[in-house]
Structure 1
Amino acid sequence: MSDTNCDPTAVPHEPPEKPINGEANAEHVKNFDVDPSTGRKVPHKKANEAYLVHQRWLEKKARIEKRKQYERENRPLPKELQGVEEPDFSPLANFLFSMVFAAFVSMVIFLLAGLFIQGDLLWGYRGKWTNWHRYVPKRPMVEFTPEELKKFDGSNPDLPVLLSISGSVFDVSKGVLYYGPGGPYHMFAGRDASRAYVTGCFETHLTHDVRGLSPEQVEALERWYKFYADHNTYYKVGSLKVPPLDPNTPIPEPCHEAVNQKP
């Protein structure tokens, strides 16, 4: 007789726990997925997930179509079709999604064609719709006085370059080479010189006084305003508050050598 059998305090050796058959099978099943299209088991791995999701969607769609056919024919539904879920999206939602997707694909093709043919995604377009300021929340518009606007003539590099036309103030900092100190159109910065835009008198007509302009000049001034309003880099930041003009003040005389050029 062995010592173990003789020792009343000895603990009999117990065999290791064996997994319950159900748990083992469950663990085994977790390693496989069922392909709805064939009913076969496939290894459970990430590479198969997208395919399986698509196959389950196709299977669901087929069941729904079959159920609709039974309902159109007024036939009783078999058990496997009872309680079938409704489609994920309505026909209208599917149509809208298709339209949006088609528009997106068309836009991508258009941009890529521009890149390969023109060398530019936008086919050379540089208009108002390329100005990102149009797509961000607008800051509150600021009302400037003539004295305040003078500070933004480009002399201070820490401040933006602003100008006013027809009472609207635009940030033209991207054109600092033209409107900043030493630039050919620095005379327009920090003030409203609406009259000079259409008369070409860049020395004596640097004023907002547009009295006496001809209809053609008024139309030209509107085009200048549109130039800044629709620019691809300039943008509106506020308005200019000027004192009312004294009607007894004489209208500025035309200059002898008007300059017809674009600021």
Structure 2
Amino acid sequence: MADSDATVRRRKPEKSSPKTKKASAVTEPEPVDSEDEIVETKRLPPKKRIEEEDAYSPVVDVFRVITFLFLASCALSYLISSGETFFWGMKNPPNYLKAEWWKTKLRGPLYLTPEQLAQYDGTDPTKPIYLAINGTIYDVSSNPRTYGPGGSYQYFAGADASRSYVTGCFAEDRTPDMRGVEEMFLPVDDPAIDRHWSKEELTALKAKELEEAKQKVWDGLNHWVRFFASSQKYTFVGYVKRPEGWPGTEPVRRLCDVAQQQRSKRKIPGQEG
């Protein structure tokens, strides 16, 4: 009986040692998530994790891009137009926003004879309106009411009418020949007045008057040259081809009546002003 009790007592399971528990934990680990999943889970808030589980829709991103482009376009329009508009509705946009300006840049300047230039006077609606000043051609199609048929400056279209810009004789002086225009700024000779100078003095005075008259012609023409060159409405096209030896191949034109009537007599010394 004592032996039987001892046997029973031996079969009682022995308590496992700490070393045994440690070995068991190493050999049989519990399943856990990967390291990346754990880090990502800790980093994202619950709301964000729910959003990522939903199906992706590009509508919001597209809307954001369109909104950004719209606002950027408005800002750029405002800057380029110097505060004139947010929506590219400029009356006179800069040349680099015009298709014709870029076409001219790509193809290079045109070289037209006076006869070829005359075909662009606005009478043919399929062609642009060109005018030239001092040999340089400009496209003025953006202002047909002024330079087209019936316009107040229709005489300038289809020609280099440099002379008329100074003399004011639009119909008579549709020519680039400026010879003799300085006469309109020269005093009219009057023996009753001219006798107040000696012959030498009068000769020197006339030479001075001629130089001043030529400068006035240049200033008057150059004003319009700068006007078209700096205009945002009109674009550069090219140049006029002239015959060899021009303008010496043509006679000097007579000063038109309107310009002739502007001339005045010399002032007697001491009576100037």
TM-score (norm 2): 0.50
Q: CA deviation digits over 1:237-259, x for unaligned, max 9?
A: 11001221126722331323689
Structure 1 residue aligned with 2:231: 231
Percent of aligned pairs with the same amino acid: 30
Question: Counterpart of 1:256 in 2: which secondary structure?
Answer: helix
Structure 2 residue aligned with 1:82: none
Structure 2 residue aligned with 1:178: 146
Structure 2 residue aligned with 1:169: 137
Alignment of 1:213-224 (within 5 A): 213=182, 214-224=214-224
Q: CA deviation digits over 1:83-104, x for unaligned, max 9?
A: xxxxxxxxxxxxxxxxxxxxxx
Say if 1:219 and 1:41 are closer, same or farther in 2 by CA, change over 3 A: same
Does the 8 Å CA contact 1:126/1:232 hold for their aligned counterparts? Answer: no
Structure 1 residue aligned with 2:178: 210
Structure 1 residue aligned with 2:255: 253
Structure 2 residue aligned with 1:40: 43
Counterpart CA distance in 1 for 2:40 and 2:260 is 83
Alignment of 1:20-99 (within 5 A): 25=33, 29=37, 33=40, 40-42=43-45, 43=48
Counterpart CA distance in 1 for 2:141 and 2:133 is 15
Does the 8 Å CA contact 1:204/1:255 hold for their aligned counterparts? Answer: no
1:133 Cα deviation from its structure 2 partner: 4.1
Structure 2 residue aligned with 1:140: 108
1:217 Cα deviation from its structure 2 partner: 2.1
The count of corresponding residues between Structure 1 and Structure 2 is 170
Question: Counterpart of 2:238 in 1: which secondary structure?
Answer: strand
The residue type paired with residue 250 of structure 1 is V
Question: Counterpart of 2:142 in 1: which secondary structure?
Answer: helix
Counterpart CA distance in 2 for 1:257 and 1:217 is 12
Structure 2 residue aligned with 1:190: 158
Does the 8 Å CA contact 2:133/2:162 hold for their aligned counterparts? Answer: yes
Counterpart CA distance in 2 for 1:195 and 1:170 is 17
Question: Counterpart of 2:132 in 1: which secondary structure?
Answer: strand
Counterpart CA distance in 2 for 1:156 and 1:119 is 34
The residue type paired with residue 235 of structure 1 is T
Does the 8 Å CA contact 2:111/2:241 hold for their aligned counterparts? Answer: yes
Structure 1: 5+ residue stretches without partners: 1-20, 47-104
1:203 Cα deviation from its structure 2 partner: 2.2
Say if 1:222 and 1:126 are closer, same or farther in 2 by CA, change over 3 A: farther
- Greater relative contact order (CA < 8 Å, ≥ 6 in sequence): 2
Say if 1:249 and 1:234 are closer, same or farther in 2 by CA, change over 3 A: same
Does the 8 Å CA contact 2:122/2:147 hold for their aligned counterparts? Answer: yes
Supply the RMSD in Å over aligned alpha carbons: 4.3
Counterpart CA distance in 2 for 1:259 and 1:158 is 41
Say if 1:160 and 1:25 are closer, same or farther in 2 by CA, change over 3 A: farther
Counterpart CA distance in 2 for 1:205 and 1:40 is 85
TM-score (norm 1): 0.52
